[in-house]
Amino acid sequence: MALEYPASYWKDYELLDSGNGEKLERFGKYVLRRPEPKALWTPSLKDWNRLAHVSFVPGAGFGKAGKEDSGTWNRLKKMEDQWGIAYNGAQDPETHAMSDLHLSLRLGLTAFKHVGVFPEQAPNWEFIYRETSRLARIHKANGLAAPRVLNLFAYTGAASLAAKCAGADVTHLDSVRQVVTWARENMERSGLDGIRWVVEDALKFAKREAKRGNRYDGIILDPPAYGHGPDGEKWKLDELLFGMLQNVSEILGERDSFMVLNLYSNGYSAALGETVVREAFKGQLKDMASGELALNDSFGKVLPLSIYVRAKR
């Protein structure tokens, strides 16, 4: 199992410290203090509020399923409600060349402790960019249309932008209209265009695409533990993940295609992720890798945040 981190030379992001159930992060020119239940150790720095511009204060729903991130921001220093950061590629692990993936992302203080980007996902962005670039070259050499990539549970769209940057025809789906609008803004900030935007329940969309016989060359899934569709549909990961992956197996291209699954839920392991993907695809995958995505703070403490499964047909 691999353990992957964002590149240390990402100038606009840094995990300064972690511990006591919190993390202290720098996004561009601002430092944020946020809850992080997985930070079980003692912090290395003493006075976080001296460094932080804002601190997230959990609300009454904190710790309850589906509401654990709700709360407010306590302002400690003057800062903007919205600001931007850049992501400028990483080194290819095989060729050692720097990627041409360049993103411009708008961040903001939300009521759910999130700010519009999950920095630990950068290795997934790079994988998506590399695989889509490879497929784009194959398609071009064979006179085919651009590879089609579907991003389900797509949030503010960094993974969608990675695929678009590499030359894909991208469909971006999320059940929350506001974050789809946010993703569109990120596309425009990054100098890109042409992404297809869909506000819908992911499972309903995947089932309909299967009935229509539509296929994608790449599919990205980052499902939450709990959620709701635009029409009140309830999502519970434990109950729906396997069925979702079975639907994905029907709409993923039969050859020269890839899938990325990311899971944040506590109790999920890379081994479990591999097993559920393998069973859903009935052994039809020729290549699979799994591991953890983590952040490494400036004192060397490793904070694992999600597990990934990357597979190819």
CA of 193: how far to CAs of 165, 184, 185, in Å? 10, 9, 10
pLDDT of residue 236: 82
252 versus 68: which is more confidently predicted?
A: 252
Q: Do residues 299 and 265 make contact, with C-beta atoms less than 8 angstroms apart?
A: no
- Which letter, b or e, does each residue of 252-261 get, where b requires 16 or more Cβ atoms within 10 Å of its Cβ? bbeeebbbbb
| Residue 212 banded pLDDT, cuts 50, 70, 90 | very high
pLDDT of residue 93: 72
| Residue 68 banded pLDDT, cuts 50, 70, 90 | low
Total-model pTM: 0.93
Q: What is the pLDDT of residues 219-258, one digit of tens each?
A: 999 998 877 667 667 778 889 999 999 999 999 999 999 9
Q: What is the mean pLDDT of the chain?
A: 92
60 versus 211: which is more confidently predicted?
A: 211
φ and ψ of 278, to 5 deg: -60, -45
| Residue 94 banded pLDDT, cuts 50, 70, 90 | confident
Per-residue pLDDT averaged across 84-95, rounded? 83
Per-residue pLDDT averaged across 108-115, rounded? 93
pLDDT of residue 247: 96
pLDDT of residue 61: 61
The crossing angle, in degrees rounded to 10, of helices 177-189 and 158-165 is 40
pLDDT at 66 over 60: no
pLDDT at 96 over 90: no
| Residue 90 banded pLDDT, cuts 50, 70, 90 | confident
pLDDT of residue 64: 58
Helix, strand, coil percentages in the chain from 3-state DSSP, rounded to 5? 25, 35, 40
CA distance 263 to 269: 9
| Residue 39 banded pLDDT, cuts 50, 70, 90 | very high
CA distance 278 to 284: 8
pLDDT at 59 over 70: yes
237 versus 129: which is more confidently predicted?
A: 129
pLDDT of residue 162: 98
Tell me what percent of the residues of the chain surpass a pLDDT of 90.
82
| Residue 62 banded pLDDT, cuts 50, 70, 90 | low
| Residue 69 banded pLDDT, cuts 50, 70, 90 | low
Domains in the chain, CATH or no CATH each: 2-312 (3.40.50.150)
Lowest mean pLDDT among 1-10, 95-104, 120-129, 260-269: 95-104
